[in-house]
Structure formats: C-alpha cells, structure tokens
Structure 1
C-alpha cells in the first residue's frame, strides 16, 4: 500500500516525464496481470471452471481441462494500473476522463457477462444485445449530447492540406454529416458507424482467438503501435492508457502461450476488442492504423461472413475449419508457427502504417488486401490438391464388426 501511495503521489505531482509514465504503466500492468493470472488459474481449478477437451468435440491439442477466465486477469491488471498511472495524472481532465469512465463501465459489462458466458453459456442474440448496450454506454448520450466516444470523421488519404473552402472530397477530414457530438437526426450515420466499429472489432478479436497466444499476441502488437502513434502525435495521456493496455495483454501471454495454461475466453477477447476499438478513436481517429495492423484478421472475418451468408448459414455460429488460422493449421503448421506468421504480418503492416504518409496510406490498405487474397488463393489450391489426392487414394476396407465412426475433428487450441 505504501508503494501504491508513492506512485500516486509521483504521478499526480506532474513531475514525472510522460515517457516514464507510459513505460512505467506498461511494466506495472504486465506484472499485475502476470501475477493475477496465477490467482485466476487457481480459482478456476478450485471451482471447476474449466474448458473440457471433449466439450464440443473440437479439441485435439489440449488433452487436459484448461481454465477459461483469463480475460478477468487482463481486465483487473489494466484497471489497477490505469488507476495508478492514468486516473491520477493531472493532465487527464474533463471530457477525456468522462470517456475513460464510460469505456470502463462498458468494459466491465462485457467482462462480467462474457465471464458468465464462458462458464454457463449465452446465446448469440443475447451477446449481440449486450455488445449493443456497451456501445450505447460508450457513446454517453445525455441531454441531447454525446459525452463519450463517437466516430464522426475519417482521415481522408486524398485530402489537400492547404487551401480554403475545399470540396468535401479534398478535405483532410471527411465528416459523417455532423461536426459536433450533438444528438440529432444527422448523428444517426455516425452512431451506426461507431456501433459497427466497436461490435466489429470485438467480434474480430473473438474470432481470431482460436490458437494459444494468437489473439493476445496480435492485440499486444497492435496496442504497442497505437501507443507509438499517440506518442508521435503528442497525445501522451492516451499513449499511457494504450501502453498500460499493451502491458496487461503481454503479462497474460506467458500463461497463454502454447500449450496454454489458461484461455482468455470470451471475457478476454471481448474486452480486448472493445479497448482496441476505443483507443483507435480516442484522441483523434486512428482507424486507418487499426485497419492496416489488424487487416488480415478483419478481412478473414469478412470473408467468412460473406461465405456463410451465401450458403444460408448463420455468421454467429462457431467455426473450427474456415478461419485462416485453422486452414493454416490444416497444412501441417504448428500453433506456434501460425502465431509467428500472424505476429510477423501484424508487425510488418504496423511498421508500414507508421512509415507511410497520410495521403498514401491507401497503398498500405491495398497491400493488406493483396496479402489476404494471396493467402486465400494459396490455401484454396492446397485444399483442392488434398481433395484430389484423397479421391485418388483407395480407401482401406472397413472392418465388418465396426460399430462406430472415428470422430477426427479439426485441431483447436483456444476456447
């Protein structure tokens, strides 16, 4: 407690350099989450809150039950560290503090309800409704004004930096019908785009949480890049918050690395997605950065949704074969090797996003799309070759007394 009071006093004194706050907050979040995860593992083991390998007949990698509530440890580590290094910072005032509080209330809602989902289960419509309520909280509507986070403008890669009375397509920021966060009919498109961004990001992270260390590693790298961009733009308080978040996720990774001792569960993936969506808007929209760094997972989810809709299937159902990481797993790559591929792509596109000027960032987005197209084309060809090989290979005669099938299911490493 004495150490905590010392940290609070130093942070609130305005004498601590901002870079030290960012690094210190990240380190403390790392240590807190790392230690808290041990407690969550013991808690889950004591109360039998475990993911069973044969619960849904999709797990071949994990042979033993694994705890699922790792997201609770990440959330607590982030909260405690942000209270020490962000909330006590005198630079954080007014609207920014309100946005932080609203974001934390929404995060608490998602973590609590999806922790219940990890243990007991919730239907897809209920989870969808909870996500929508979380977005409404984040918007902060009150007295005909939005006090929270709302995305009502985008950086225009084709904008002209000099000149007055420019047409909308040459302006550096393209607004979504409104220029101020007032609650009017014109705000409906901005509200819908904000809802789509938050719900889309939370579900994207949830969908890629399919292999040990995959989602946590990709999110940690993305958080680091958001931190760097905030520092470059001199948005130090947001950089502190993003740095704390990155540290918390990194603190969970040693426990989640293959073979995982604990899964983050939906409580973790929903929290991680919500925070990334929020950080990419707070302090100036960094949507292009998030789209580039998370381009492969986002496009993977988009392709899966389109394919399911074309087949008349629900896009909310669980999938252990179609996602990019599962298809890579089917080629013979290990879970760790696939994580390295995703980490490499995430880092490469993050560096590209940092190096490209604003007016040519569209090139980076095109490169992300081209990379995804190449991966899909390559995997589709591999799948066709395997199917042709199986058709050409005669099947062994089945024993006449066999009374059942050998259920050979896709590999799965994360719940």
Structure 2
C-alpha cells in the first residue's frame, strides 16, 4: 500500500508541475492576442477582460501524464476516452474563442456520450433499486448513461461562474473518487483521478480571486465528462468488487457531484417556471445568489466546497441506509438549504430597497 501511495503522490506532483509550466505561456499568449472573457455580459462578475483558456493547461497535463502512466489495455477504454476528450475539448475551445450555439454543443456532447457508452462500454448497468429498478437492458443502459454524462458535463459548465468554484469542486470530486478507487484496489482509475485532481488543483493557483485566467467551457466540460465517467465506473466496479469497505457506491457518487447537479436542476426548474429557455443564461445560480448576500468569491467557494464535503460525510456515515431513502434525504436537505438562501436574498433585497408609502 505504501508503494501505491508513493506512486499516486508522484503522478499527482507531475500533473501539478506540468500545469505550472504550461499555464504562464497560455496566459501570455491569451493576453497578447486579447483572447479575453466577454465581460460586457450582464451575468459576469469581473470588470476587466480575463482569458478563458485555462482549461488548455490542465487538459494537456492530464492527457500527457495519463499517456505515460496508464496503458490502453489497463481496464479503461483509453482510446475512446482520449477521442471523446479531444472532441469535447475542441468544441469547448471554439466556444471560448468565438462562441458556439447551444444546439451544436448538445449534439457534440451526445456524440461524446455515445463514444463513451456504446464504444467504450462505460455505462450504468444497474440502478441499485432506485425507483424499484435494478438491472438495465442494453438500450436503456446506453440512453440513461448518455443522458447522465451530458447532464454532468453541463452541470460543471454551469457551476463555473465564479473564481475557484468549479476547480475546487472538481478537486474534491477527483480526490474522493481517487481515494475510494484506491480502497477497492482499482489502481488505474485511482491514478487517473489523482492526475486530474493535481491538474485542477494547480489551475486553482491562477483561478482563485482575483483570477488571472478562467478554465472556460473547454476546461469545465472536460472535468464534467471525466467526473461522469468516474461516477459510472465507481458504481460498476464497486458492485463487482468483493471489498465491503464501501457499502453504497451510488449514494457516494451522488454526494460527490451534488452541488453542480442540484444547482443545474434548480436553475432549469426556475427558468421553465418563468417560461424561459433552460439554455438561456441568467443569475439564478446558487453562487450568484450567495454573492448577493455580500459573500466574496472565495467565501462562496469555500462554503459550497464545505457543503459537498458534508454530503460526502453523510453518505459515508449512513452507508447501510437504503439508496432511495438517502436520495430523498439529500433532496430534502438541499431544498431546505436552497429555501434558506432564497429567504436571505429576499431579506437583503427588501432592506436595500425598502418599500415607500
């Protein structure tokens, strides 16, 4: 075990080092060519142009490090993952530089999800009793897995709204997956998780407020895609593993992704309720509402990171509980927290703009 821990430490350090080497050049090139974030948009929180190409550095770091340490036949369909990553990263870069219509992004995401599920055979085979469903047939398995991958890709894309938030949640997710893969002796999965955790962690050095660079759509969609892959594989390999240290893999996977997942579902519901397109950007995200309360980017990021850790802890504490019960408990807690934030925002607005008689 000591050798494995040293191995993970070394590859994490390598991925960190690569980002620290590549990122200054990315920032310099972006600034020189004025490849800035469009800060004229009303939903932006920065007053000056900031490059959106930070995803380039940790994408390069993640791919290069994995090429050197993970063999294509080592338990993951690496060729399919590389192909899916490059396709998604390419459309993300195009979006960061000149914009891409959301229809185009959805089509590309569907293609990527198909490559991963149908060609890479990374898919959900069992719903573990959720909605009283266990084993899935092939076609429903592919369709549900594709929808899940597309959902998590967009969830990470949407949560990337303030300095450090998406990167912090990604580091928590990848470290959690990496550690738990290590516990169930899935060394290849653990290695890839720690590689990306190191890359995303190094990126945070440049992304914490005041941000020098954003990860952009290319970075956030890449992180979301690999997180979706890990969530699916974690549930699958845990079900097939004889190791009993982790009792309820689906609940832990949900806990890891709970903040971006709930925020995405919430903003979609709000937009539909207001008869707006679910794809039209606004400032109804949880991080935007927390900023309205007077919190800084760093404070908001730390609070949402702590919320994620709370749910991970709750999932580990109640491992033997029924999966459906845990998902209902998570939902109830999230709805309560969301109601508290909304209530505080309303109080803040009323105090700032008191009614006049």
- Give TM-score scaled by structure 2 length: 0.89
Match of 2:333 in 1: 371
Q: What residue ranges of structure 2 are gaps of 5+ in the alignment? A: 237-248
- Give TM-score scaled by structure 1 length: 0.77
The answer to whether the Cα contact below 8 Å between 2:177 and 2:234 also exists between their aligned partners in 1 is: no
Could you tell me which of 318, 343, 352 is aligned with 1:356? 318
Could you tell me which of 27, 34, 40 is aligned with 1:41? 27
Deviation at 1:237, TM superposition (A): 1.3
- Between the aligned partners of 1:391 and 1:335, the Cα distance in structure 2 is 24
Deviation at 1:378, TM superposition (A): 1.5
- Between the aligned partners of 1:309 and 1:393, the Cα distance in structure 2 is 29
Give the 3 Å change call, closer, same or farther, for CA 298–93 of structure 1 in structure 2. same
CA RMSD of aligned residues (A): 2.4
The answer to whether the Cα contact below 8 Å between 1:44 and 1:50 also exists between their aligned partners in 2 is: yes
Give the 3 Å change call, closer, same or farther, for CA 303–284 of structure 1 in structure 2. closer
Match of 2:37 in 1: 51
Deviations 1:215-246 (A, max 9, x none): 00011101111011111111111111111111
Match of 1:174 in 2: 134
Match of 2:68 in 1: 84
User: Which is greater in Rg?
Assistant: 1
Match of 1:93 in 2: 73
SS in 2 for 1:238: helix
The answer to whether the Cα contact below 8 Å between 1:292 and 1:364 also exists between their aligned partners in 2 is: no
Equivalent pairs, count? 345
Deviation at 1:176, TM superposition (A): 1.1
Which has the larger share of helix?
2
Deviations 1:128-187 (A, max 9, x none): 00101111111244xxxxx431222133489xxxxxxxxxx6xxx92113xxxxxxxxx2
- Between the aligned partners of 2:65 and 2:121, the Cα distance in structure 1 is 22
- Between the aligned partners of 1:284 and 1:236, the Cα distance in structure 2 is 15
Match of 1:148 in 2: 121
1:333 maps onto 2:333 in alignment: no
Match of 2:246 in 1: none
Could you tell me which of 88, 105, 120 is aligned with 2:83? 105
The answer to whether the Cα contact below 8 Å between 1:292 and 1:365 also exists between their aligned partners in 2 is: no
Match of 1:71 in 2: 55
Match of 1:297 in 2: 260
Give the 3 Å change call, closer, same or farther, for CA 389–175 of structure 1 in structure 2. same
The answer to whether the Cα contact below 8 Å between 1:293 and 1:353 also exists between their aligned partners in 2 is: no
1:25 maps onto 2:11 in alignment: yes
1:382 maps onto 2:344 in alignment: yes
